Amino acid sequence: MNQRNSKARPSSGKKGRRLAHKDVAGRVHLAVHRDPASGNERVVLRSPVFREAWQNDVAAAAANTAYAVLRVDPSVDGAVELARSAMAAMSRLAAGLLARAPGGAVACRAGCDHCCYQAVGVTPPEALAIADHLKTTLPDAELARVARRVSEHHERTRDMPSAERFSPDHPCPFLASGRCSIYDVRPLSCRGMNSLDAGECATRLRDPEARAAFLASGVGGRSFMEPIRAFHAISAGLQLGLSELFRLDMRPLELTAAMHLLLSGPGSLADAWLRGQRPFEPARGADQGKDPGLGEPSAALGLAPGRDP
C-alpha cells in the first residue's frame, strides 16, 4: 500500500499561522501556530468542541498527531500509520480509564460478542488500516474468502438503517466464533465500548421486545462513559485535522460498506481519497453508520468534504 506520490498539502498562512479550511457551515475549528523562534508548529482548537476540557485536550492532541504524520508523509502509508497510532492511543486511554472502575464492574470479556451485531462507524484512515492489515497478514486465498464474506454481508445490509442492523441476524463480517478477527486493528468505536451488564446486552440484542424498546428509547446501555467520550474525542481530532488541514473527506463511513469498497473495489480508491476526492461516498450509508442508542457526536461538527465550500 505505497502511494507516496499522492500528496495532501495543508494550506499556508501568514505571520506564523497556517489557515485551516472551513466546514460546510463556514466554521473553522482548528488553527496551526508556528513559534517564530523555533519554527515548531502546534495545532490548537479555536474554541471548545466538547463540554469536557479533557476531551478537548484529547481532540487537539489527535489533530496534532494527524498534522505531524501527514505533513511529513502525506501518503496512504502515512494515513495507515496515523490510524494505527490513534488505535493504540485509544486502547491505552480506555484501559487507563477503565482501570479506575471498581473491580468486576466491567462485564466485557473475551468471547462476549453482543456489541458486534450493529452498524459500526469508521473514519477513512481506520478503514485503510484494516484493509492494510488484511492484505499484509492473510494469504491470497484467505483474503479472497474474507472479501467475499464482506461483500455478501454488504449486499444483505446495504439499504438497512442502523436500527435494523442491530440484530442477531446481522453479525459483523469480521466476527468469527464469537471473537473479533481484526482485533489488532478494530475500529476506534469498538475500543471505547464497554458494558456493566453482559446479561442486559444479551437480552437487548436477542429478545425482540427488549430490542424494540431499546431502539425506541434512543438511550445506550449501562456503561462507563469516559472511554466512549475518549473515542469521540480522538475521532473528532482526526476528522477535524484531516478535513480542515489537508482537505480530505473525513465524514464517517459504515465499516462493512467501506471494507467492501477497499477489498473488492478498484485499487485506486485510497489514492483518490488522498487527492481530496470522495471515493467512499457509497459507504456513507442511509443514516451515516450511526450505532443505535449511542449516536456519533463528532458527526455533528458538520465536517466539510474534501474541498472548500
Question: Mean of the per-residue pLDDT values for the chain?
Answer: 85
Based on the structure, what is the number of domains in the chain?
Answer: 1
**Is residue 104, in this structure, part of any structural domain at all?**
yes
Residue 105 confidence (pLDDT): 85
**Is residue 289, in this structure, part of any structural domain at all?**
yes
Strands 179-180 and 253-254: unpaired
pLDDT digits (tens, 9 = 90+) for 118-163: 999 999 999 999 999 999 999 999 999 999 999 999 999 998 998 9
**Is residue 9, in this structure, part of any structural domain at all?**
no
**Contact yes or no for 127/262 (Cβ under 8 A):** yes
Residue 157, all three cell numbers:
445490509
**Is residue 72, in this structure, part of any structural domain at all?**
yes
- Greatest pairwise CA separation for the chain in angstroms: 64
Q: Which helix (H) or strand (E) holds 30?
A: strand 30-34
59: containing domain: 17-301
Q: Is the pLDDT of residue 227 over 60?
A: yes
Comparison of pLDDT for 1 and 249, the residue scoring more: 249
Q: Which residue has the cell 466464533?
A: 177
**Is residue 69, in this structure, part of any structural domain at all?**
yes
**Is residue 306, in this structure, part of any structural domain at all?**
no
Comparison of pLDDT for 306 and 259, the residue scoring more: 259
pLDDT digits (tens, 9 = 90+) for 268-294: 999 999 999 999 999 986 444 343 333
Residue 293 confidence (pLDDT): 31
Please report, for residues 127, 230, 283, the alpha-carbon distance to residue 139 in angstroms, rounded to integers and kept in the order given. 19, 35, 26
Global model pTM greater than 0.75: yes
**Is residue 93, in this structure, part of any structural domain at all?**
yes
**Is residue 7, in this structure, part of any structural domain at all?**
no
Q: Which residue has the cell 458486534?
A: 116
Q: Which residue has the cell 482501570?
A: 99
